[in-house]
Each structure stands twice: as structure tokens, then as C-alpha cells.
Amino acid sequence: MIRVNENYLKLQSSYLFSEISGRIAAFREAHPAREIIKLGIGDVTCALPAACIAAFHHAVTEMGDERTFRGYGPEQGYEFLREKIAMHDYKEHGADITPDEIFISDGAKCDVGNIQELFAEDVVVAVPDPVYPVYVDTNVMAGRSGNWKDTGYKGLVYLESTEDNGYVPVIPDEKVDLIYLCFPNNPTGATISRDKLQEWVAYADKNKALIIYDAAYVAFIKDQTLPHSIFEIQGAKEVAIEIRSFSKTAGFTGTRCAYTVVPKACNAYTRSGTAVPLHKLWLRRQTTKFNGVSYPVQRAAEAVFSSEGKKQVKILIDYYMHNADLIKRRFSELGYLCAGGDNSPYIWIKANMASWDFFSLLLEKAGVVSTPGSGFGKCGEGYVRISAFNSHENVEKALYKISDVLS
């Protein structure tokens, strides 16, 4: 008898985005003439930078010529891309990461989901609340939680991110082994200071724990006093893995390219306490289960680091951050408490009512789609997330309508 992995049966149906789609469909049916502006999902809207497109085209042409054609590439990613990442994303920020510590992949979501395979089934997992759901669900699938009860899975430690702590979770009293941190944060848009990040690194070091640092939104950091990478923090290379993506940085959500940094100094431990380098395990995992990202996509990603690419990426980020600024300013003027938006494309708005009620108010009265904070966890109740990923015209129109409704 083939039995299922019953851990999958513990999963709560991912009802957030399907519920949002259902409500939009119902609204559309009831009001076919009304315009709907989507500031809900975290997908980019601008085209790829011209430098990426040129590199992409050139690489596709190479693939059409026997003399320059390439078959399977290295599972870890081409060195030309890993070298650029090590130089521009790390060395230039004072973090000593070498190209062979970088693993190219087809998405941060896959890496975030796959990395937990390296750890024992009984490690204690700590996740932020509100949370990017992939951290939670992949650990539930792997059997690291009990059943769902009320507002969370038994056995997981939820790190509350609230107005009181500036949406940066405090160090837990109990001992946890695997810690997920995400800054700039999805969904709150919060950032973490060097001092606070240092505290987490010290906790991980003291408890032989490991931090998975998700920096998918690093490109949106404007405040140069904030850390861009956990590896800017002393001692982090021994206790952290960092995951980044070209998705939000350069519009690669549909093109797919990301990377994970596993420093050679970073260990996990056997039951008897022997240190095992995680770099070796992740290399083994990737070479066994992954065959690399396509050559043209890696060339397109490499172009992000060219001087033209850097300028074009900055224009792209500035474009969205202009929206973030408008959204945050308008909601603040309307008297709402807002977090995020300064170094992140997300604005986290205190609704002063239940999340879904505010969602419905914005949809029905203004025709604007937001994301109810309650869909990201217990601490998200009473908030909505508004995304800056849209055109200036749509954001201005949405804010005009929202002002009308809320003032």
C-alpha cells in the first residue's frame, strides 16, 4: 500500500490569494463597469532592464550556433555570474563571500523551500509572524510541526513582529534551532538595524542555531546605515545562510533567477555534536536534484551588474519607491499608522478594523485590491499590505479614490 506523506494533510489550505481572487471575481460580476486597480500581489509590472534584454538576446543567439552552443551548465551556476555577485553584492559591501560559496538557482522560493532538507526532522523552527508562508509550509510538509491549532501550527515557534517591537522580532526565551528572518520584510516592509541583527547572530552562535536570512527585497534599501546582507555582521558566516533573488531587484519574476550563499564556515551538527559543513551538503543536494539555470537567463542576470544594468536597475527601483512614497504619505495624511515603504516596496497599514473588512472597504468603495494582513499570520490581523508594484498612473488613481472613501 502506497501511503501518503501525512504531513501534507496538516497544511491549511492556502486560502489567502484564492479568497482574494474570488472576491475580485464577485465584485467584477456585480459591477462590470467599475475599474479595479491591483495593489495586492507582490509581482512586478515594469519590463526587464534593457541591458538584461540585450544580454539575453545575445545568449540566445549563441545557443543557436554550434560553435557557441552550451548544454548542461554547472549545477552551482556559471562562474561569470557567481564572480559578479561576490564582487558587487558582497565585497563592495564589506562582506567577504567567495564565488564558490554562491549557488545560482531558479528562484528564492525554491531555495527557501528546499534548504530545510539539510536539517534533522526534530529541529525547533522559529518563523516570523506575520510571515512569508513558504517558511512555514515547507517545514510542515517535512514533519517539523504538529497539527494546526487556532492560529498556528503546534511545535513551531512564532516570532511576533508587532507595532511594539517595530516589526522586528525579539530574541525568544526558549532555545530554537532554525530561525527564518526576512529583511526588508514581506509583508510588513520593516528593516532591521545592524545592532539587532548582531543580537540574532550572537543568539545563533550561543545556541548553535542557524539563521536563514531572506534578503529578496535588499535592492529597495535606501538607508545606507542598514545592513544589506547578514554577512556584513561579524560572526554571521558561521551561523547564517542568505537567500537573494533577481525577481524584485530587476523584474525577473517571470524570468527566474536567484541565489543562495552558504559560507564554507557554516556548520550544523550530528546528534553526537560533530560539526558538518552545510556548504558540502547543499552542494551535494543541488548536484543531485538540480541541473542549473538556463545559460541565457544567467547572462541576463549578469547584465544587472554592468554599469548600464546598474543604472537601469536603479531607475526601476526608484520607480516603485516613488509609488511607495506616495502610498505611505497619503495613508499617513488620512490618519493611518503605516510601517514599511521607506526601504521596501510594501506598506503595512493599521486598518483600525478587521483586515478583511478593510480589504472589502477598499475594494467595494474604491475599486482597489490590497492584501489582508491576517492572511500572513495572527499578528497580521488588523492590518493590510499595499504593494508599490504598479504604474505611477494606477497608484495615483488608486490613492485619489481611496482618499475619497477614507477622508
CB of residue 174 to ligand PLP, shortest distance in Å = 25
Kindly tell me which of 179 and 399 has the beta carbon lying closer to ligand PLP: 179
- Kindly tell me which of 184 and 382 has the beta carbon lying closer to ligand PLP: 184
From the CB of 244, what's the least distance to ligand PLP, in Å?
8
CB atoms within 10 A of CB 329: 14
Is the N-terminal amide bond of 130 cis, ω within 30° of 0? Answer: yes
**What CA–CA distance (Å, rounded) separates 24 from 88?**
42
Residue 259 or 367 with smaller CB distance to ligand PLP: 259
Nearest approach in angstroms of CB 252 to ligand PLP is 7
Q: Which is nearer to ligand PLP, 83 or 106 (CB)?
A: 106
* Long-range contacts at 61-69 (CB < 8 A, ≥ 24 apart): 62/295, 63/295, 63/296
Nearest CB to ligand PLP, comparing residues 133 and 235: 133
The single-letter code of the amino acid at 14 is: S
Residue 246 CB, shortest distance to ligand PLP, in Å, is: 7
Closest CB 220 distance from ligand PLP, rounded Å: 12
Q: What's the min distance (Å) between Cβ of 322 and ligand PLP?
A: 21
Min dist. Cβ of residue 373 to ligand PLP (A): 14
**Separate counts of helices (H) and strands (E) for the chain:** 12, 17
Chain positions contacting ligand PLP, by CB under 6 A? 42, 107-109, 112, 132, 182, 186, 214, 216, 245, 247, 253, 258
Q: What's the closest the beta carbon of residue 187 comes to ligand PLP, in angstroms?
A: 8
Cell of 284: 551535494
Alpha carbon distance 217, 54 (integer Å): 24
* Closer of 267 and 344 to ligand PLP (Cβ): 344
CB atoms within 10 A of CB 147: 10
Structure letter (DSSP) for residue 89: I
- At residue 357, what is the residue type? D
DSSP 296: H
Report d(CA 80, CA 93) in Å as an integer: 19
Residue 106 or 357 with smaller CB distance to ligand PLP:
106
Dihedral angle, C-alpha 166, 168, 174, 179, nearest 10 °: 170
Instruction: Kindly give, in sequence order, each residue whose CB lies less than 8 Å from that of residue 287, ignoring residues fewer than 6 positions away.
Output: 75, 76
Which residue, 112 or 266, has its beta carbon nearer to ligand PLP?
112
Let me know if 354 is exposed, middle or buried by CB neighbors in 10 A (0-12, 13-18, 19+): middle
To 5 degrees, how large is the angle CA 287–CA 293–CA 296? Answer: 145
